[in-house]
Amino acid sequence: MQANTLSGGFADPATQSAYAFRSVMEAMARPGTIQDIEGAAPPAPLSPAMGAVLLTLCDTETPVYLAGDMDCEAARAWLAFHTGAPFVGPAHCMFAVGTWDALTPLAVYPIGTSEYPDRSATLIVACSELAAGTTLTGPGIKDQATLSLPEVEAFQANRTLFPLGLDFIFTCGERLAALPRSTEVSRSSSEAIAQAGAS
C-alpha cells in the first residue's frame, strides 16, 4: 500500500464532511452556483473536490463506477481505504466518477424507477473549468442561471425523463457545481446568436 493511499482523507471527518456536504447541497439546491469544497487531498487523477464529494457521500453501501483513467490503482486504493465503497460497472453504480468523455454515453446508468426515482446514479464529472455558460432554468433558480457544461443535448434529454433521470456534480480543483435532473438547459443567448450568425 502506498503512503498516499493512507493520507489525504478528512483530518476531522465529522466536521469536514459537514462543511463539504453543505457545499454539495447548496450546489444541488441552486443549480449553476459554484461552491468551494475543501479538506481532501486524494491522489491524481482524482481532484480535491472529487475526493471531498466521495468522502462525504460514499461508504460500503454505495457502489462506485470509476470511468476511464479514473479506474487506476491509486484511485481505487484511496477510495477503498477511505470509504470502503465497492467498485462496480456503470449499470449498477450509485456514483460514477470520470471526465465527461469517459462517462458518456449516459444510457447505461440507472435512472430510477417510476415508483423510486431516487434510485438513480449521480455522476461526478471532472471538468477543466467551471464558469458561466449555458443558460439554466428550473427549481432552485431565480429567473435564470448559467454554467459551463460539457454539452447541451445530453442534459436536455435527461430532463425529458423527469422525475426519473441522472443528477450531476461538476468538479474542478477545489470547486464544484451541480445539475439535478429537474433543470432545463438551453443554449446561452450569446451562443445562439453566434450560431445564427454562422449559419
Residues of this chain that bind another protein (CB under 8 A)? 13-15, 17-19, 21-22, 24-26, 28-30, 56-59, 61-62, 94, 114-118, 120, 122, 139-142, 162-163, 167, 180-182
In whole angstroms, the minimum distance from the beta carbon of 180 to another protein comes to 4
* Three-class SS state of 14: helix
Nearer to another protein, 45 or 171 (CB): 171
Nearer to another protein, 75 or 169 (CB): 169
Q: Which residue has the cell 466536521?
A: 15
8 Å CB contact between 72 and 98:
no
Q: Which residue has the cell 428550473?
A: 138
The DSSP code for 98 is E
Closest of 5, 12, 149 to residue 73, by C-alpha:
5
Burial class for 143, CB neighbours closer than 10 Å (0-12, 13-18, 19+): exposed
In whole angstroms, the minimum distance from the beta carbon of 73 to another protein comes to 25
Nearer to another protein, 62 or 186 (CB): 62
Nearer to another protein, 33 or 99 (CB): 33
Nearer to another protein, 11 or 25 (CB): 25
In whole angstroms, the minimum distance from the beta carbon of 165 to another protein comes to 8
Q: Is the dihedral of CA 44, 49, 52, 54 positive or negative?
A: negative
d(CA 110, CA 147): 25
In whole angstroms, the minimum distance from the beta carbon of 193 to another protein comes to 27
In whole angstroms, the minimum distance from the beta carbon of 155 to another protein comes to 13
